[in-house]
Amino acid sequence: MWRTEGGCKVIDSGNHYIDFEVANNQLGRWRYTGFYGCPERGRRTETWNLLWSLAARSNLPWCVIGDFNDMMFVDKKRGVNVQPQYLLNGFVYTVNDCRLFNLRFKGEKFTWKKSRGKVNWIQERLDRGFATQAWKDLFPDAEVNVLEMTTSDHIPSYLHLNKKIYVPKDRRFMFENTWLHEKECVNVVRRSWEFTHGRSIMDKLTYCGLQL
């Protein structure tokens, strides 16, 4: 499941992706894609072809984030069965051909783990974030943050823009009580308060509202 914040509309979706267009008065329009790569090794070319196809659809600044079920480098895997070089090369070639650049990654190095604590324990970095240069110019400090460990074999992550976005003055911040039912709510508020340390209360509330 992918979650986004206000100003987004879905422009297309498929079995392995969902495409959003994001609009903002200050920054204009850009594009975000949530991606899921084919987990079967024999279908990796389908994943690469889909990424190529998505890259060619628009000239908007673009970022794509998700579980690619693929790795770019040998050190992104720990455990049995070394990743074949042809798969590493294929993914790297695809990313470069799409003119995408890695986004900064903050947190746990491996985002997928199997057979934890056993002899055949495997850890891999399957989740990544990429963006075009035009998008990186809009959000030069953006990074993909890894959240706390869950009961799932995947560790969730989210895109942090690290940039204050203009909010129209006639849009008052209203706290939604339903947010209290979300387990991550308290952590979002805490991170927002820490990130805006030293700013005014109104700035803190505005930033916290955007994150929520």
For 88-142, what is each residue's pLDDT tens digit?
A: 788 889 999 999 998 887 766 666 566 555 555 566 666 788 999 999 998 988 8
Q: Which residue has the higher pLDDT, 69 or 131?
A: 131
Q: Are 138 and 166 in contact (CB under 8 A)?
A: no
- pTM equals 0.63
pLDDT value of residue 63: 94
Q: Are 80 and 120 in contact (CB under 8 A)?
A: yes
pLDDT value of residue 169: 54
* Count of other CB atoms within 10 angstroms of residue 18: 18
Q: Are 126 and 71 in contact (CB under 8 A)?
A: yes
Most confident of 90-94, 165-169, 195-199: 90-94
Average pLDDT over residues 148-171: 63
Q: Which two tokens stand for residue 69?
A: 């079920």
- DSSP assigned state of 115: S
Q: What residues does CATH 3.60.10.10 cover in the chain? A: 8-163
Average pLDDT over residues 1-5: 46
Radius of gyration, alpha carbons of the chain: 18
Q: Which two tokens stand for residue 140?
A: 């030069």
- Angle CA 7–11–12, to nearest 5: 140
CATH class of the domain at 8-163: alpha beta
Whether 204 shows a pLDDT value over 70: the answer reads yes
pLDDT value of residue 73: 62
Most confident of 41-45, 84-88, 104-108: 41-45
Pairing outcome for strands 122-124 and 112-114: antiparallel
